[in-house]
Structure 1
Amino acid sequence: MSSSSEQDTPQTASPVLEPVDENLAIIARQAIVDEHRTVYGYELFDRSTASNAHTATSDAALLFNALSYAGTEALVGKKTMFINCTHDSLLGAHLELIHPEKVVLEVPPLPDDSTPAEIEGRIPTLQALRTRGFRLAFDQRALRRAYTGWLPLAAFIKLDLQAVKPEQAGPLISFISMHSRAMLIAEKVETAEQYELMRRLGVKLYQGYWFARPSLVKATTIRPAQASIIQLINLVRKQASTSEIEELLKKDPSLSFNLLRFINSSGFGLSCEVTSFRHAVMILGLNKLFRWAALLMTTSRGGGGAPPAVGQTAVVRGRLMELLAAELLPPEECDNAFVVGLFSLLDSMLGMPLEKALASVALPEPVMGALLHGTGVFAPFLELVKACESGDEAVFARTTDALQLSNRQVNWAHLQALTWAESLNV
C-alpha cells in the first residue's frame, strides 16, 4: 500500500532530492489523523539512500532505522507506526524486536496471478501475527472475493481515493462493515469534497495531502565496527554470561550507545528507561540480542574497509548453512552451522587472514575445522554454500550427492536464506 508520499499526483511535482549522507538515517513520515485532525499515527518510509528515494527499503530496515537511529520519540512519539511489509518479511525475526502494540503491519495482496489456494495459504501466517498482538492493515484490493478469508483479520482497511470512484465508496464501506470489524482509513485525500464524502459515510481516519504532506526526520548514525559486532554475536552464540557481554559493551562506546538507544525507543515498549548495560542485556535476552546484532552487522563497515555487501553475503551463508544443516543434523548443531557460514568471510570483513581473525574468538573444534581446514561435519555444507554463490556446477553436484540433498531442497533453502538476509538488510 502506498501513500501520497510515494506517488506523484496531478497537483504535485516530484521533490528535488538532496545529496544523501550515508551517515544519516532519513525517514519520511505522513500523519494519519482523525476527523478532528488529531494525529492517530504515522506511516513511515525509508529515505536514507538516493536509490531508495522512491522505493522504500524492507520493513526490517525501516523499523531498525526508526528504533536504532532516528529514535521513535522524535519520529512518532507515542503514536502508532504503520509499516509497509512484504509477505516474505512477515516471517522475519526482526518482528521479535518490537512491541506489537506499537506497529501496524500494512500487508499487500498477492500478485494478480495468485491462485485461491495461495491466497488462503497466507491466512495461518496472518493469524499468527494477530495472535502475537500485531494489527494488520489491508487496502481495498483485499475486498475482492478471493480475499474473503483475510477480512476478519483486518484491524484497518485503507481506501485509496485515487483508485476508488465516489459512487463506489458507499457500497465498499457497507461491504467492509458486514465482513470485518476493521477501522477505515481514507488515504490520498486531496480535496475538501473527498473528505466530506468520507465523513458522511462514517470514516474516522484520514491520510493525504489535504491534511499533511510527508515530513522528514533525520538522525546521524553511529555504526560500530564489524569486529565488535562479531564479538558480540560470538558471545551470544556460546551463551556467555551477562557479565561477559557487559564487559564487551563497556569496551565499545558505539556498540553500547546503539543498544541503549534501541532498547529505550518507544517501539520496544518498555515502561522504564534502561541506563545500564547489564539491565539492557537481561531485558533483551540472548535471542533478541542476537537478532539485533545481526541486523546491526549488515549496516556496518569492517575495520579493513570491507563493503556492507560482504557482511550481507556472510549472513546469507550463515542462514543457508543453518537451513541445510536442519535437514540432516540435530537441532543443536544448526547454530554451529550458522556460525561457520557467518564467520567464513571474517578475513574479508576484518582485513586480516582468517586464522588470525579466528584466534580472537572462542569457537567449537568442528567450526574451526570447517573454517580453517575444510574438515569435519560442516565442511561439505560450506563447500556447497560456496558453490551456490559461484555457480560451480561440478562442486554443487558432488556436494549435494554426498549430503543426499536434492537440487530442489538446496535451491529452496538458498531462496529462503536470501529472503531472510534481505529482510535484515539496511
Structure 2
Amino acid sequence: MSEAAADQLFLGRQPILDREQRLHAYELLFRSGSANFAQVTDGVQATATVIANAFTELGVEAALGSHRGFINVDEQFLFSDLLELLPRHAVVLEILETVPPSPAVIERCQALKAAGFTLALDDVIQLEPQFAELLALVEIVKVDIQPLSRVQLMQLAMKLKPMGKQLLAEKVDSREQMEQCLKLGFSLFQGYYFAKPTIIAGKKLDHSQLSLMKLMGLLLGDADTSELEAALKPEPGLTINLLRMTNSVGAGCTERITSLGHAITVLGRRQLQRWLQLLVFASSGQNPIENPLLQMAATRGRLMELLAGELRPGDGALADRAFMVGIMSLMPVLVGQPIADIVAPLGLAADVRDALCSGSGPLGALLRLSESSESGNLADLSAALAELPGLGPKAINRAQTQALQWANEIGQEQPES
C-alpha cells in the first residue's frame, strides 16, 4: 500500500462518559477514502496501517492520556495481523454488529481476549441466540437505545445485567433517556445529549465570563499590561485564580508572583489568552480533562490554531484568532444563547466575528473542518478542505493528535481552586 493511500484517513472522536458525566473514553472514528483523493484499493489494510501508525508515529496513545480509545472492528479487520500492534491497555476493540458470530470469529475473539484486549459488542438491540457465544466473550455491551421503546430497553437491560457485562448506552439524545439508562444500571454513555448539556442550557453569560471575554479581546488587540490589569481588578476571584495558576505553572521562578503585572509577564500573553479562554468554560468547576464540553472546546481551539499554522506558516496572528474561534464556537452550547448575541458586546476582530456568525473566510472554513473532523463526516470534511488549499489529510491527522494531547495536558496542569 502506498504512503498516499495510508494518508487517506481522518480521525474523528466522540466522548464516552461515566455515570457522573465525566469523560471516560473516546470512540475513535477512522474513515478512509474520499472522492477528492486517491482511492484506497485495500481499505482494510489502509485502515489497519493508519491506526497502527497513529498509535506509534502520531502518539494517539499519549494524546488519549488516561482515557481509552474504542475502535470499530469489522470482520476483515478482525483478522488483520496489524490489529495486534495496537496497545492492549489503551484500546477497546468494538466488534461491529455486521460481524457474523462464526466459529472462526469466536476463535479469533478468544485469542484476542487471551492476548489482553478488551472487547465490546456494538449496536445491540436484542439478544439473538446465535450471538450468545460472542456475547459471553465481550466485557462491554453497547446498546443502541434509539430504536427501542422504554419497555424494550428495560427488558433488554434486565436480560443483560445478570451476565455481568458493562453496559454502554449509545445515541443518548435527551435527559430523559439518560435518566432512564442510569436507573437501568448503564455505566457508560455516548450521544448528542452530552455535546449539548441541557443542564446549563439557557444560562446567560455572568459578569466574570464577560470580563474574561473582554480580556481576550484586549489580548488579541495587543493592549498594554496596565489595561489588562485594570480589566482584571474588578474581578477578585479571577485575579486569585490567575495568580494561583501562574504560580503553579511558572516553573523555575525563584520569586512568588503576587501582582497581576508580574503574572502577565511570567505567563506570557499567548498562554494567558489560552487560560482565559478555557476559564470561560470552567463555570461548572470541573477539570477540563473530565468535562467533555471543556475537552471539546480546548481541543477544537488548539486544532484550529495548528491548522492555521499549516495554512499560513509564520502567521501567528491568524493562529491566535483561529484558536479563539474554536473556543468560542462552543459558547452557544455552554450558555444557550445565539452566537450573535454572545459576540455583539465583545468588540472582536471582523474575521473572528464573521467566522463565528456566518462561517465566512478562512477561519470559517477552518471551523467547519474542525467540526467535521470531530464527527468523522468525510463529505463535510472534504468540502471544507476544498476551501483550504495547502491542507491535506496527513496534516489534519497530525494536528488532531497534537490538539487532543495538548487539551489533556491543559486539564492535568489546571490548578486546584
Tell me which protein shows more helix as a share of its residues: 2
- TM-score surpassing 0.5? no
Normalising by structure 1, what TM-score?
0.43
